[in-house]
Amino acid sequence: MNKELDSIHHVAIEVKDIAEAVDWYTTHLKCAIAYQDGTWALLKFSNVSVALVLPGSHPPHLAIPCEHPEKYGEVKPHRDGTESVYLSDPFGNHIEMIRGTEII
Amino acid sequence: MNKELDSIHHVAIEVKDIAEAVDWYTTHLKCAIAYQDGTWALLKFSNVSVALVLPGSHPPHLAIPCEHPEKYGEVKPHRDGTESVYLSDPFGNHIEMIRGTEII
């Protein structure tokens, strides 16, 4: 792992039914359920995680741990205890700068 | 790294201008340009890569290396020399099962 590069903690993608999606991903791919409720789930792959989120809750995004997210804007707390700032690239893709420096 | 789990080689996201997107990502985040032309680019992060693709070329997807992609369907070659099969989850998210077992 290259320490000079940012890491990606998770990729969030939208699904309309969390349980059905978790069933599909764990059936077709080798991944582990790190968290699951009716509104979102976190699937661990060997090098990165995939968050399954319902439409309208969080936008699809890449989440990047960083030590000082406040340098990107106003940091907001989330229900899972994390804190982050969302950025958008010029084309509407979302990047979540999430406080923390650990990966996986 | 957990060898029992699948790895994700890259996450592909759509952008309308490759050069502008590469400039934005390399300015705002610590990532390295592994490949770039006018139609796509590959950015390396420490644990996974991000492919920037033009709309209509490839759908946004997660790419997962696997030894035998043919077990998922008809394998198709790509211009970069890779071979893969695209799957869709029940909600229209695309997964590219790409031949190979190496990561990064």
Please identify which residue in the block is written with the tokens 């907001």.
A76
Chain A closest-CA separation from residue B72 CA (Å):
9
**Residues B48, A8 contacting (CB under 8 angstroms):** yes
Tens digit of each residue's pLDDT (9 = 90 or more) over B32-78: 999 999 999 999 999 999 999 999 888 899 999 999 999 999 999 98
pLDDT at site A3: 58
Smallest Cα distance from A13 to chain B, Å: 8
Report ipTM (2 d.p.).
Answer: 0.90
**Which parts of chain A sit beneath pLDDT 50?**
103-104
Asked whether B41 and B35 are in contact (CB, 8 A), the reply is yes
Contact B94, B86 (CB under 8 A): yes
Strands in B49-53's sheet, in edge-to-edge order, are B32-36, B40-44, B49-53, B10-14, B61-66, B94-99, B83-88, B76-77
pLDDT at A102: 66
Question: Could you report the per-residue pLDDT of B3-42, keeping only the tens digit for each?
Answer: 589 999 999 999 999 999 999 999 999 999 999 999 999 9
- pLDDT, residue B100, reads 87
pLDDT for A22 equals 98
CA distance A93 to B20: 13
- pLDDT at site B102: 66
Q: Measured between CB atoms, does A29 come within 8 Å of chain B?
A: yes
- Check if A26 contacts B (Cβ < 8 Å): no
Interface check for A14 against chain B (CB to CB < 8 A): the answer is: yes
Q: What is the DSSP letter of A56?
A: T
Mutate to test the interface with A, among B17, B20, B46 (most CBs of A within 10 A): B46
